[in-house]
Structure 1
Amino acid sequence: MFTKLQPKENIQKYIDGLQLIGSLSRLSSESSIPYLYYRIAERLFCSSFKAKDFSRSDISIDAKKDNIGIGLKTFLAGNNKSFQKIAEFNKEQSNYNPLKLKDKIIQISELRNKRIEFTKRATEIENSIYHCVVREQNKFKIIEEKLDSINIDRIKNIKENSGSIKFDDGINEYSFLISKSTLTKKFQTSSYLFEIEIDILEDPLRDLHNFFKTKLFEKSLIKTETIYLPLYGRDKHVFEKSGLNQWNADGRKRDPNEVYIPIPIKIHKYFPNFFPPRDQQFNLKLPNDKNLLSKVCQDGSKALMSYSNRDLGQWILRDVLKLEEGKILTYKMLEELGIDSVRIDKYGNNDYEINFAKSGSYEEFITDLENNNT
């Protein structure tokens, strides 16, 4: 579905990388089943296939290649029918908990589908798949299958067990884990694209030590910084006349797409040189790989805007959130999508990248900063 259509040299690079990482399994495990940390699997996949890495963006995919979105998984084969996490709905519990069993599953499914559609709009993908590295004794198996929305009209076989609710839509089987507010999907792993034999080194520490002592390496470090910004104001409220609703402010006539992302004073306190000076333009790369000329502006440099005051709003409000002109954005709308923040990565002095982040990301970021500084 994806991997077999890639250039042979890229496939071989990926296989070589998996064999290398798998061979080092005894750095962390004594098992004959090779170990693969999911973050390494994500980096290796994106590097091998020259895919865009979304693994830190808290959306429904982890990578993008051309117009295909890819959800990346790595897990044990088990009995070849493994339920794996595909979404989490902690913040939405108050909405679905009071509902009856079927209504609860329908609402959870609707939330899942909204996030998939949001991801499609934000990254401009047309199709999505799962790419899984399944771990077995001395081997990895690669499987791929469609990343489907849930067909709500065909939901059936709803059964509540101890701690979970199972159901299917005629295509996929799902299980909702009540205590963790987590939706899982059954992956069939008996058929696969190809398998990779893994020779696990007996003493990888020794082998690494010998290798690095006999090779010369040049360190090439790219200095980057990362911050998180809220898409809301105080008390988790998207104000009706500022921020992402700036178009609705009083005074002069405004473009219906005029918005800004708030930059709280704490960001300037901890990262005084993260952004260029006020009104100085810089490049802001979007998840769809397009670039916006952007700036910080307003008193205290409290606003992140596109240089043309309509471009950022066109992207967030119209292209991604699909809000009609004149409709007020609320925090509840963001909450339903599981996002309320953005992550800004800085590369060099003038290049930045923006990605959506899960609900609570800004607050967690600030809490960590304040704890570290005390």
Structure 2
Amino acid sequence: MFFDRQTPDEQEHYIKLLQVVGSLSNLFSESKTPYLYYRAAENIFCKALNANNLARGDISFDAFKGDTGIGLKTFVHGNGKKFEKIAEFNKDIEKFRHLNEEDTMRKIAELRNNRIAATERAHGTSKMIYHLVTRKDGRFEIHEEEMHYIDMNTLKLDKKKTTDKNIFFKDKYAHYKFYIAKSTLYKQFICSNPITSFEVDILDNPFSFLLSDENKKYYVVHEEEQFEQVYLPLYSARSGKVEEKSGLNQWNAGGRDRHEDEVYIPIPSWIHRQFEGFFPYNRHTDEKEPFTLVLPDGKELDAKVCQSGGKGFMTNPNRELGHWILRTILEIPVGQLVTYGDLDRVGIDSVLITKLDDYRFKINFASKGSYMDFEEEFKN
């Protein structure tokens, strides 16, 4: 599917890095099953196979490369039939809290599908897979399977298994479990036919390896370059709404003729104070310098902080950013006001801005509530 299409060098490098990390398992436990932290698995996958890492965005894909979106999982193999978490819906709980089991199942399937669709549109992908690293005694296995939308036409509640804690259901592709208390969706993965399998030699004394010159050959023990990041809301942080004449509805503001795709993304004033110098903008003089904004699919746009006090940023021409958000991601008809409900429908209400250098930034969507969590953590 995906792994087989990578170059032999990439495949070899990927396997070697997994073996190196697995060999350090005695740092964490004395089990014969090698340990692999999921964040390490994500970073190794993207480094070795030259994929784009999306894990921080908390969206339907953990990575993408070319036209393929990828969900990454690692877990103990067991009997090869494992339910693993694929989505959380804590921020959507009011949509299904009072529904019966059948309606809850359908609402969760709808929410899941809407999220996948928005993620596909944002990254321009046409294929979706799960890439799995399962762990057995002394070895790893790599499995892959297609990632499907939940098929609404064949969706069926499993009444025999369903309890007051878990709702079990299935479609023509897979079996699912919804854990009610945590609003978490699990999918059953069937891992019976590995793409490849390889041994992992767990070191008796991993500390000696970490202190040796040999470890310098591997990325996993090198300090990774860290990028500054901020979350921005796609709504007014003050009112909690998408205002009718600003932000994503800037096209509807008066004063002059405006293009139907004119928008800007709000920048709350505290971000300029708390993260001073993040954007090429001087809050003391209100001086603004242009920068490059990189979309998830790699397209580059000219952008600039806009308005007095640096209240937002827009692209030049501003219709470029607006068309991408309004027409491609949200699929809003021309002339229709954007509401918070439109963001809620696809499970996103924020963007993650990553500073690649002083004049180059990357943008990606983030799940609902991401900006609020960011504000709670960093706003003084």
Task: Provide the TM-score with structure 2 as the length reference.
Answer: 0.93
Contact 2:290/2:303 (CA < 8 Å) preserved in 1? yes
SS at match of 2:185: strand
Q: 1:146, CA displacement in angstroms?
A: 0.6
Instruction: Give, as a single letter, the amino acid of the residue that structure 2 aligns with 1:255.
Output: H
- Within a 5 Å distance, the mapping from 1:123-272 to structure 2 comes to 123-159=123-159, 160-211=162-213, 222=225, 224-233=227-236, 234-272=238-276
Quick check: 1:10–1:48 contact (8 Å CA) kept in 2? yes
Q: How far, CA to CA, are the matches of 1:221 and 1:98 in structure 2?
A: 46
Task: Give the 3 Å change call, closer, same or farther, for CA 286–213 of structure 1 in structure 2.
Answer: closer
Pairing 1:323-342 to 2, within 5 Å after superposition: 323-342=332-351
Q: CA deviation at 1:198?
A: 0.4
Query: Which structure 2 segments of 5+ residues have no match?
Result: 282-286
Instruction: Indicate conservation of the 8 Å contact 1:154/1:169, yes or no.
Output: yes
| TM-aligned CA distance change 1:220 to 1:175, over 3 Å | closer
Question: How far 1:207 moved relative to its partner?
Answer: 2.4
Whichever residue aligns with residue 230 of structure 2, its letter is I
C-alpha change, 1:359 and 1:214, in structure 2 (3 Å) is: closer
CA–CA distance in structure 1, aligned partners of residues 343 and 329 of structure 2: 11
Residue 290 of structure 2 is matched in structure 1 by: 281
2:57 aligned counterpart, secondary structure? coil
* Superposition deviation, residue 221 in structure 1: 7.0
2:55/2:63 contact within 8 Å kept: yes
Provide the rounded CA distance (Å) in 2 between the counterparts of 1:97 and 1:203. 50
What's the offset of the Cα at 1:97? 2.0
Task: Answer with 274-283 or 20-29: which moved more.
Answer: 274-283
Residue 367 (structure 1) aligned with residue 369 (structure 2): no
Q: Tell me, yes or no, if the aligned pair for 1:223 and 1:347 is still in contact at 8 Å.
A: no
| Residue 22 (1) aligns with residue 25 (2) | no
Q: Which residue of 1 aligns with 2:330?
A: 321
Q: Aligned AA for 1:232?
A: Y
User: Structure 2: how far apart are the matches of 1:129 and 1:107?
Assistant: 23
- Counterpart amino acid of 1:133? V
* Aligned residues of 1:164 and 1:176 also touching (Cα < 8 A): yes
Q: CA shift at 1:82, angstroms?
A: 0.3
Q: Deviations over 1:209-259 (max 9, x none)?
A: 2337999x9x88756311111111023211111101111112211101000
- After superposition, the Cα gap between the structure-2 partners of 1:200 and 1:222, relative to the gap in structure 1 and judged at 3 Å, is closer
Task: Decide whether the 8 Å contact of 2:114 with 2:347 is kept in 1.
Answer: no
Q: Is the 8 A contact 1:282 1:294 kept in 2?
A: yes
Q: Which amino acid aligns with 1:100?
A: N
Counterpart contact for 2:178–2:185, Cα < 8 Å: yes
**Distance verdict in 2 for CA 1:256–1:197, change over 3 Å:** same
- Asked if structure 2 preserves the Cα contact closer than 8 Å seen for 1:83 and 1:187, the reply is yes
Find the aligned partners of 1:325 and 1:226 in 2 and give their Cα distance: 32
Residue aligned with 1:32, SS:
coil
Instruction: Let me know the Cα RMSD of the aligned residues.
Output: 1.9
Q: Number of residues paired by the alignment?
A: 370
Q: Name stretches of at least 5 consecutive residues in structure 1 with no aligned partner.
A: none
- In 2, the alpha carbon distance for the partners of 1:300 and 1:204 equals 53
Residue 225 of structure 1 aligns to which amino acid in structure 2? E
Question: Residues 213 and 363 from structure 1, CA distance in 2 versus in 1: closer, same or farther, beyond 3 angstroms?
Answer: closer
1:122 is aligned to 2:125 = no
Contact 1:90 1:181 in 2 (8 A): yes
Partner Cα distance (1:28, 1:80) in 2: 24
Aligned to 1:9: 9
1:342, 1:356 within 8 Å by CA — same for their partners in 2?
yes
Residues 38-88 of structure 1: CA deviation (Å, up to 9, x unaligned): 111111111111111111122111111110111100011122110011111
**Cα deviation code 1:307-332 (max 9, x no counterpart):** 21111101111111111111111112
Partner SS state of residue 102, structure 1: helix
State the Cα deviation string for residues 299-352 of structure 1 (Å, max 9, x = none): 101111002111110111111111111111111221232221111111221110
Query: What is the distance in 2 between the residues matched to 1:140 and 1:301?
Result: 50
The aligned residue for residue 76 of structure 2 is: 76
Secondary structure, aligned partner of 1:43: helix
Alignment partner of 2:239: what SS?
helix
Pick closer, same or farther for the CA change 1:183–1:368 going to 2, 3 Å.
same
Structure 1 residue 53 and structure 2 residue 53: aligned? yes
Change (3 A) 1:314 1:173: same
Q: Please, what TM-score do these two structures have when normalized by structure 1?
A: 0.95
Deviations 1:276-309 (A, max 9, x none): 1344211011111111110001010111100211
